[in-house]
Structure 1
């Protein structure tokens, strides 16, 4: 390795360190807002999960907010469960002693 190769490597290292230092100075000067200006702005999301509750291993209840309204959703395995039938308890048979 002769002197010109060494000088070229030293000059490349100096330029690289200078560019890194220049970038650091620019970030300090313009602050973190400089990077925020280059990123696209995000619009506000309309849908948000407010709360979630696990009922059993296959079902969960989720409270969702959409456009200021809250909706309660039952998430599960895709089966529709019928509503429970009202219980019709049979009356005990009347005893003959009660009739007399």
Structure 2
């Protein structure tokens, strides 16, 4: 997993974050995606919050938190089909479903 230990991933996940900008944002329409830049309060770490809205399954919404551009720390799925941070897909998991890196 991109050279990041579980201890470092946990530290990044639990780190307090704030938006990098104060620009007003609108949630995405069906099939849309919103990328929100976040940073640690001390400004030393950058994060990304991805928000996806389903196109076919309009009730499907995904929120995921990334560190260092590509390291997926956590994911929250609403809808019928989920994908964990390790890439496993499951239709049997209850919705909403929350996944942390390493679990």
Q: Same fold (TM over 0.5)?
A: no
Q: Relative contact order (alpha carbons < 8 A, sep ≥ 6): 1 or 2 greater?
A: 2
**TM-score (norm. length: structure 1):** 0.26
Higher strand fraction (1 or 2): 2
**TM-score (norm. length: structure 2):** 0.25
Higher helix fraction (1 or 2): 1
Higher-Rg structure is 1
